[in-house]
């Protein structure tokens, strides 16, 4: 599987945010967007342009894999 770019990760977060908007008084992100936001923030802080899917923790990897399947209509 190819590397995930910062823009692709941002698109996945926005996909999940549109599919399941923030909720509650605190505007909590859905579990998928939350899981992907952590590697996204790290990429920004570490100035990384891309990361491997294997570098994601299990929750983020599940959110990413589900996003790719849904995006591709699988």
Q: What is the mean pLDDT of residues 34-45?
A: 95
Note the pLDDT of residue 1.
Answer: 63
Q: Is the pLDDT of residue 27 over 80?
A: no
pLDDT above 90 covers what percent of the chain?
77
How far is residue 71 from each of residues 16, 19, 33, 47, 74, measured CA to CA in Å? 11, 12, 15, 27, 8
Note the pLDDT of residue 63.
Answer: 97
Q: Is the pLDDT of residue 26 over 80?
A: no
Note the pLDDT of residue 22.
Answer: 76
Taking the CB of residue 9, how many other CB atoms lie within 10 A of it? Answer: 22
């Amino acid at each position: 599987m190819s590397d995930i770019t910062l823009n692709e990760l941002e698109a996945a977060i926005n996909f999940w945010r549109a599919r399941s908007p923030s909720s509650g008084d605190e505007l909590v992100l859905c579990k998928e967007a939350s899981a992907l936001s952590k590697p996204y923030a790290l990429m920004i802080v570490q100035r990384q342009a891309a990361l491997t899917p294997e570098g994601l923790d299990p929750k983020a990897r599940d959110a990413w894999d589900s996003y790719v399947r849904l995006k591709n209509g699988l």
